[in-house]
Structure 1
């Protein structure tokens, strides 16, 4: 089993604290805006924003995948040696 160092424990603790604070903040904002009504244009904006965010995210992931498969990434770092898979 891998042992964690003091620095790694500090980073994990800081990230957990940020996660808890973000959850508390999100709950406070959710409760504070509970009586706000969103009209038709707000729902359209929310839907289009969600759609285009997913479209851009999936497109960039596809570009990254195809770039990795085509070998263009290897030419960007010629000093890195290619690891050979272990033989059995």
Structure 2
């Protein structure tokens, strides 16, 4: 196994510290809102939630379709003219 240098150790330590701080923040917000039952949504909130979910699903499906068709038609191939093309199986 390769040993880590000082820069890599500092990056890992910073990432772990951010993860711990995010967990502490999430836990504190969870405790602060625990037991609060007066967060009811009205009709406008449900409409916004439904439209947001619908737009997210449509956007995700559209981007996946673009990625699929782009890969199928060869648009994702390398632009290097010296690279040999692989024969299709």
Q: Structure 1 length normalisation: TM-score?
A: 0.57
Larger Rg: 2
Structure 1 position 16 matched with structure 2 position 19: no
Post-superposition shift, 1:33? Answer: 4.2
Q: Which residue does 1:29 correspond to in 2?
A: 29
CA RMSD of superposed structures (Å)? 3.2
Q: How do 1:68-87 and structure 2 match up within 5 A?
A: 68-74=71-77, 77-78=79-80, 81=83
Unmatched segments (≥5 aa) in structure 1: none
1:42 pairs, out of 41, 45, 48, with 45
TM-score between the two structures when normalised by the length of structure 2: 0.57
